[in-house]
A and B are shown apart, each in its own frame.
Chain A
Amino acid sequence: MSKPLAASKKVMKNYLSELLTDEPIVIEQIADSPKGIKDKSRVEALLKNVNADLDVAPHEITTHKSLVLPPHFIKEEFAPSENSGQLKQQSEAMLTTQKSHGNNLISPPKSYRQGDFQALFFNVAGLTLAVPLIELGGIHNVDKITSLMGKPNWFKGVMLHRSEKINVVDTALWVMPEKYDETLKNSLNYQYIIMLNNSPWGLMAENLVDTVVLKQDEVKWLDSPSKRPWLAGLVKDKMCALLDIEALIALLNEGSGINQFD
């Protein structure tokens, strides 16, 4: 095995390990995080100042319930104190903290999340990626790609296919920009364009590997909000990424690179 190839494989192995160890951002983590603990203790300290016996379990404090208490309830049940205004302000502040996680909304379940489904596997720069077949828009051979100025570097250009204009993505550059150097660029031999659903976006691929029927438990699904919304899950057997096409299209439409959540 040549040294560059071995190095490339090592890089890919590390990359996949990173993907597998990537922990999704779970909302509940907030309460357990150092900031969450700090917030919780701050709330507890504030509640001590309220002139009433309040029996609230700690885990309830961080929920929305504690923030949506009707104003009349607070007025009637608790004697007004100097700190009540401060408590309200603190509650609102906590609400805005929750809002900062708005980008990580859970999308509705995909059609391929029930029963067996087929996926197409393809290679890019030694990395294998998979697309659920139901979200595959088509496969074209790479033809002349017209580059457009002022576009992100991963936007390879526009390829004409009959009357269709395809926005071509340099997949290697989009998926692993940090590993994309001149050597990798020169080694790429893109041959196919994998069309994403009904969108004009197409991912460049070097080789088409196979179409495989996958069972639900053969994939480690990343259902929780993740900093990699384009990643639907990881195919355990092949140790490869299964793309979330819908999220990927949304990112491409925004002109966002892969690291927008980093």
Chain B
Amino acid sequence: MSDERRSTSNKADANDEVLQWVTFKLENEVYGINVMQVQEVLRYSEIAPVPGAPLYVLGIINLRGNVVTVIDTRSRFGLEPCDVTDNTRVVVIESEKQVIGILVDSVAEVVYLKASEIDDAPNVGNEESAQFIQGVSNREGELLILVDLDKLLSDDEWDELKQF
């Protein structure tokens, strides 16, 4: 390989940023969230319902003295509710300068993805939940749906959460 070609190749690699994604499952699909936004992953503990809370809020948990609001991810993604199992987890994330929990069926692993390995999701449908998808990636024959956590809630909803 000539020096010029090697240099071009290195530049391309430099632009091809590698990001880490925490993957979780809901129903039968695998979703990914940026590892930088994940604070911790908790086993399911009792979620205290909050009277008058919006439908997308399951309730609150006490995390070492701090109150964390838990979002009903299934309903947010338009999925039917399901029973809690041993694999159910609460993923504590930081988004829009707020710490919230999202309830998921299970947490799988942390994966590394190059920016070039991420494709746009099909641009059809204008439902609100379509905005959650940041991209998709073919990972070992399985489609990984990458979620934009900042868009999980609208601006008004994020503001509403501050009241908790």
Contact = CB atoms under 8 A, between A and B. Distances in A.
A151 B127 contact: yes
Nearest to A146: B143
Q: Which of B79, B124, B132 neighbours the largest number of chain A CB atoms within 10 Å of its CB?
A: B124
A152 B145 CA distance: 17
The size bracket of the interface on B is 20 to 34
Given A158-B122, A158-B136, A165-B119, A149 B142 contact: no
Given A158-B143, A165-B119, A150 B125 contact: yes
Interface residues of A, number: 19
In terms of DSSP, what is the predominant structure of the interface of chain B? mixed
B128 A155 contact: no
A235 to B, nearest CB: 29
A255 interface: yes
A28 to B, nearest CB: 35
A253 B125 CA distance: 10
Interface in A168-226: 200
B80 interface: no
B121 A148 contact: yes
B133 to A, nearest CB: 6
B124 A252 contact: yes
A67 interface: no
Contact of A148 (B133, B138, B141): B133
B51 interface: no
Contacts of B121: 148, 158
A37 to B, nearest CB: 40
B56 interface: no
A252 B138 CA distance: 22
Given A146-B29, A165-B138, A151 B143 contact: no
6 contacts: A146-B143, A149-B77, A150-B78, A165-B138, A167-B122, A167-B124
Interface of B: 29, 77-79, 119, 121-133, 136, 138, 141-143, 145
